[in-house]
């Protein structure tokens, strides 16, 4: 007899584990199946957490090297990469174990193994010793996430040809690192290795970095990264990558068809991620995929098969941990008869470089193309007293408001702590705030967030400090 559950989640990433906990909180007998051996998915194991750990540690290293300019003499600053990596691994272990603890606390049954469909209510679990077990469930939620995309004919070896996973675990600093793709991963990992001493070259086939970001913000972002020493080859394609022992030769082709050959110690391919829809036996039970091989769902996260749902990176929308979590909670509540909901207009994005880039809502380009009449308020951190006082005055806050209603519909920031400050704007937008609401809210002085208030004042052309 197979064990019976009311709900089973396949995949223990931020979408899956949060969903499983919420289902259990709502009283359903719940299980979660995860194949990688630890919980937390891409995010905790090889994504958000290890990358943010290395971003923080490499930034500290870089800052420490420049302390003497600030009157702090500490002698020679040396890198101990092995120790730095251990520190990163410690953070990952604590957090992944933490999720296991939360499963126990909430009575979620945890199966280690690969889950695949035997029928629409039966899941086969194959563990690492190839032992099989079948469980049944009334509701099944697919949250199997995504994986890095390879370039045609170029296989990841995680030593010279790297995906983000390899780039998070190098055991020496590459003298020269080529990065293909100027998106989130390329720019975060490029910052890490550049700060630790690599000569970094980013090859991007578009004429701008971070596609989809507000253009003015992405232009400013690129200027700042260039100043930090990152080299950009824009409107340039990778023609070929030759993996030579412990090194690579990358042929690039610019828009004028000029070929250049770049030698390097490692190449990071960060050209996007693809959904994990193989190995699940989806076709046999009739689950439909879209043109990008993501699982098709309706607004209630229902797939084409009754009682089977999907959330997170494996469905449409931004591939972000907090988006996956929100969907996990929403689907658990919908399954339990509540009215779960995700507001896709108010999902923040943050790039954890230095300075950080954070955004929410519509870009100026989107607003224009949708024919919305709008006003913009902008305030530079150079005019913010806290930013000046601590020498972190790059960037700005930009607020876009509807012309007639004054409702805030987009916010874009570059600056220290932007990733934390964007939460204020998420709340404001959830409550339908106008720029005047923000402008009339008292912000503590001296703080970076005063720049938000000033940008809001500037929507009405009445900023005080610029």
Q: Determine if 320 is a binding residue for ligand NAI (CB under 6 A).
A: yes
Instruction: Find the shortest distance in angstroms from Cβ 211 to ligand NAI.
Output: 5
Instruction: Find the shortest distance in angstroms from Cβ 65 to ligand NAI.
Output: 25
Q: How far is CA 302 from the centre of its chain?
A: 24
Q: Quick one: 29 or 36, whose CB is closer to ligand NAI? A: 36
Q: What is the DSSP letter of 67?
A: G
Q: Quick one: 230 or 295, whose CB is closer to ligand FAD? A: 295
Q: Yes or no: say if 108 and 24 are a contact pair by the CB < 8 Å rule.
A: yes
**Burial readout 372-411 (b: 16 or more C-beta within 10 A, e: otherwise):** eebbbbbbbbebbebbeeeebbbbbbbbbbbeeebbbbbb
Non-local CB neighbours of 192 within 8 Å, separated by 6+ positions: 51, 54, 55, 58, 167
Q: Determine if 318 is a binding residue for ligand NAI (CB under 6 A).
A: yes
Q: In the set 21, 41, 233, 297, which binds ligand FAD (CB under 6 A)?
A: 41
Q: Determine if 410 is a binding residue for ligand FAD (CB under 6 A).
A: no
- Give residues 158-177 in contact with ligand NAI (rule: CB under 6 A): none
Q: Yes or no: say if 35 and 125 are a contact pair by the CB < 8 Å rule.
A: no
**Burial readout 163-182 (b: 16 or more C-beta within 10 A, e: otherwise):** bbbbbbebeebbebbbbbbb
Q: Which one of ligand NAI, ligand FAD, none interacts with residue 238, CB within 5 to 8 A by kind? A: ligand NAI
Q: Based on the number of CB atoms within 10 Å of its own CB, is 51 exposed (0-12), middle (13-18) or buried (19 or more)? A: buried
Non-local CB neighbours of 347 within 8 Å, separated by 6+ positions: 318, 320, 322, 323, 326, 360
Instruction: Find the shortest distance in angstroms from Cβ 277 to ligand FAD.
Output: 9
Binding pattern to ligand FAD, positions 181-210, x when CB under 6 A?
Answer: ----x-------------------------
Instruction: Find the shortest distance in angstroms from Cβ 88 to ligand NAI.
Output: 15
Binding pattern to ligand FAD, positions 295-314, x when CB under 6 A?
Answer: -----------------xx-
- Give residues 333-392 in contact with ligand FAD (rule: CB under 6 A): 352
Using the contact rule CB under 6 A, the part of the chain among 28-36, 265-273, 334-342, 376-384 near ligand NAI is 265-273
Q: Determine if 21 is a binding residue for ligand FAD (CB under 6 A).
A: no
Q: Yes or no: say if 49 and 188 are a contact pair by the CB < 8 Å rule.
A: no
Instruction: Find the shortest distance in angstroms from Cβ 289 to ligand NAI.
Output: 19
Q: How far is CA 54 from the centre of its chain?
A: 15
Instruction: Find the shortest distance in angstroms from Cβ 98 to ligand NAI.
Output: 20
Query: Both tokens of residue 355?
Result: 């300075």
Instruction: Find the shortest distance in angstroms from Cβ 181 to ligand NAI.
Output: 3
Distances (CA, A) of 71 to 58, 65, 257: 21, 12, 49
Q: In the set 228, 272, 406, 466, which binds ligand NAI (CB under 6 A)?
A: 272
Q: Determine if 326 is a binding residue for ligand FAD (CB under 6 A).
A: no
Using the contact rule CB under 6 A, the part of the chain among 65-73, 183-191, 250-258, 423-431 near ligand NAI is 183-191
CA distance 174 to 265: 6
Q: Could you give the 3-state DSSP secondary structure of residue 429?
A: helix
Q: Yes or no: say if 435 and 459 are a contact pair by the CB < 8 Å rule.
A: yes
What are φ and ψ of residue 237, in 5° steps? -110, 155
Cα radius of gyration (the chain): 24
Q: Determine if 211 is a binding residue for ligand NAI (CB under 6 A).
A: yes
Site size for ligand NAI, by CB under 6 A? 26
Q: Which one of ligand FAD, ligand NAI, none interacts with residue 13, CB within 5 to 8 A by kind? A: ligand FAD
Q: Based on the number of CB atoms within 10 Å of its own CB, is 70 exposed (0-12), middle (13-18) or buried (19 or more)? A: exposed
Question: Which residues of the chain form contacts with ligand FAD (CB under 6 A)?
Answer: 10-16, 33-36, 41-43, 47-48, 51, 114-116, 143-146, 164, 185, 276, 279-280, 312-313, 319-322, 324, 352
Question: Which residues of the chain form contacts with ligand NAI (CB under 6 A)?
Answer: 151, 180-186, 188, 203-206, 211, 237-238, 270-273, 318-320, 350-352
């Amino acid at each position: 007899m197979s064990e019976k559950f009311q709900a089973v989640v396949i995949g223990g990433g931020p979408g899956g584990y949060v969903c499983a906990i919420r289902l259990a909180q709502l009283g359903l007998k719940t299980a979660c199946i995860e194949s990688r051996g630890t919980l937390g998915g891409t995010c905790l194991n090889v994504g958000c957490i290890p990358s943010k750990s290395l971003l923080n540690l490499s930034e500290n290293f870089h800052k420490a090297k420049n302390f003497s300019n600030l009157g702090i003499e500490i002698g020679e600053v040396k890198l101990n990469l092995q120790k730095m990596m251990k520190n990163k691994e410690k953070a990952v272990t604590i957090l992944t174990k933490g999720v296991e603890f939360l499963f126990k606390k909430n009575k979620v049954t945890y199966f280690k193994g690969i889950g695949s469909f035997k029928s629409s209510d039966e899941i086969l679990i194959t563990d690492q010793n190839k032992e099989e077990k079948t469980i049944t469930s009334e509701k099944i939620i697919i949250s199997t996430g995504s994986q890095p995309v390879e370039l045609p004919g170029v296989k990841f070896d995680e030593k010279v040809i790297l995906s983000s996973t390899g780039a998070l675990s190098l055991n020496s600093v590459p003298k020269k690192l080529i990065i293909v793709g100027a998106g989130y991963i390329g720019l975060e990992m490029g910052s890490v290795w550049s700060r630790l001493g690599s000569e970094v070259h980013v090859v991007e086939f578009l004429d701008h970095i971070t596609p989809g970001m507000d253009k003015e913000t992405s232009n400013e972002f690129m200027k700042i990264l260039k100043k930090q020493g990152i080299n950009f080859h824009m409107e340039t394609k990778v023609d070929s990558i030759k993996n030579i022992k412990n090194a690579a030769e990358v042929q690039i082709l610019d828009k004028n068809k000029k070929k250049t050959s770049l030698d390097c110690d490692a190449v990071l391919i960060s050209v996007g991620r693809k959904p994990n829809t193989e190995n699940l036996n989806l076709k046999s039970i009739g689950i439909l995929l879209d043109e990008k091989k993501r699982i098709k769902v309706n607004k209630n996260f229902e797939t084409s098969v009754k009682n089977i749902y999907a959330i997170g990176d494996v469905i449409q929308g931004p591939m972000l941990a907090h988006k996956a979590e929100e969907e996990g909670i929403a689907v658990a509540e919908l399954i339990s008869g509540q009215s779960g909901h995700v507001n896709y207009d108010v999902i923040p994005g943050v790039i954890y470089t230095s300075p950080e880039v954070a955004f929410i809502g519509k870009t100026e380009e989107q607003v224009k193309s949708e024919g919305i009449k709008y006003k913009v308020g902008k305030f530079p951190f150079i005019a913010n007293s806290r930013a000046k006082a601590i020498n972190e005055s790059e960037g700005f806050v930009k607020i876009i408001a509807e012309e007639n209603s004054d409702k805030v519909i987009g916010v874009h920031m570059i600056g220290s702590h932007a990733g934390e400050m964007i939460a204020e704007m998420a709340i404001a937008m959830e409550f339908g705030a106008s720029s005047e609401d923000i402008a009339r809210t008292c912000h503590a002085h001296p703080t970076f967030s005063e720049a938000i208030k000033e940008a809001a004042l500037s929507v009405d052309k009445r900023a005080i400090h610029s």
